[in-house]
Amino acid sequence: MSRREEAKTFNRARICAAAESIIRSEGIDNLTMRRLAVVAGVSLRTPYNLFGSKTDVLIALLDEAVFKFTQLGLARADGVAIVGMLRALGQIETFFDSDETYYRGIYAAIMTSDHPEVRSTSVDRAIASARVLMAQAISNGELRADTDAQSLGRHLAITLLAVLGMWGSGFFSNRESMAQVRRAWLAVMLQHCTDTSRLMLAAAYDNPSDIGD
């Protein structure tokens, strides 16, 4: 990496760190580009050079969070894709719990920005992951062979992201969000399950986590 790129990377990191620090210590409402420039020790223009927009800075923070989450690794589920999928929900909840105001803040800020191109990348990523898992579930015999993994994966991913949108806007708690997704996921997967997995899924559906009032 050339020294120029090194400097850019360094400045990007400084700006991200400053943004995170401001959000943590002063609240996300006080994250303004002018304040960010001051705290990062950089001119007002530089974040625009290095990121493009305020939203892009926040996206960088979200990417860091996503990276941190993926580093946790998906809980092993003894090769049962469906269980892995459901466990991921619990992991998301735990992850959010660990730093709720921060994650919700950046998520909401991104969602309430009128940079719609943001969403499609994360949407595509989620859909791809879900499709892979559902294809595994089919080849594992957890889901019926006539199941359309593409369509099902897309449906499940959108379900998650749609609820996350409401979560970001503060409508309900981490737990409520995940319970909503869990219920929706289980119901849909029950429509495609084999006899092998039906009992487990049905039991999970009938034993809901707290969905809230």
Near DNA by CB under 7 A: residue from 20, 21, 33, 158: 33
Among a copy of itself, DNA, none, partner that 30 touches (CB below 5 to 8 angstroms by kind): DNA
Give yes or no for residue 101 binding DNA (CB under 7 A).
Answer: no
Give yes or no for residue 3 binding DNA (CB under 7 A).
Answer: yes
Residues 44-63 that bind DNA (CB under 7 A): 44-46, 48-50, 53-55
The token pair at 122 is: 């994360």
Residues 144/192, Cβ–Cβ less than 8 Å: yes
Among a copy of itself, DNA, none, partner that 184 touches (CB below 5 to 8 angstroms by kind): a copy of itself
63's enclosing H/E stretch is helix 54-72
Residues 201/193, Cβ–Cβ less than 8 Å: yes
Question: What is the distance between the alpha carbons of residues 105 and 136, in angstroms, rounded to a whole number?
Answer: 34
Residues that bind a copy of itself (CB under 8 A): 108, 111-114, 116, 119-120, 123, 150-151, 154-155, 158-159, 161-163, 165-166, 169-171, 180, 183-184, 187-188, 190-191, 205, 208, 211-213
Give yes or no for residue 30 binding DNA (CB under 7 A).
Answer: yes
- The CA R_g of the chain, rounded to the nearest whole Å, is 20
Residue number, 7 or 17, with CB nearest to DNA: 7
52's enclosing H/E stretch is none
Among DNA, a copy of itself, none, partner that 4 touches (CB below 5 to 8 angstroms by kind): DNA
Q: In Å, what is the CA distance from 28 to each residue of 12, 32, 69, 164?
A: 19, 9, 21, 19
Give yes or no for residue 139 binding DNA (CB under 7 A).
Answer: no
Provide, rounded to whole angstroms, the least separation between the CB of residue 3 and a copy of itself: 40
Q: Please count the residues of this chain forming the interface with DNA, following the rule CB under 7 A.
A: 25
> ∠36-40-45 over CA atoms, to 5°?
65
Question: What is the distance between the alpha carbons of residues 126 and 129, in angstroms, rounded to a whole number?
Answer: 5
Q: Which residue reads 């806007």 in tokens?
A: 169
Identify residue 149 by its one-letter amino acid code: A
Among DNA, a copy of itself, none, partner that 205 touches (CB below 5 to 8 angstroms by kind): a copy of itself
Query: Which stretches of the chain bind DNA, using CB under 7 A?
Result: 2-5, 7-8, 11, 30-35, 41-46, 48-50, 53-55
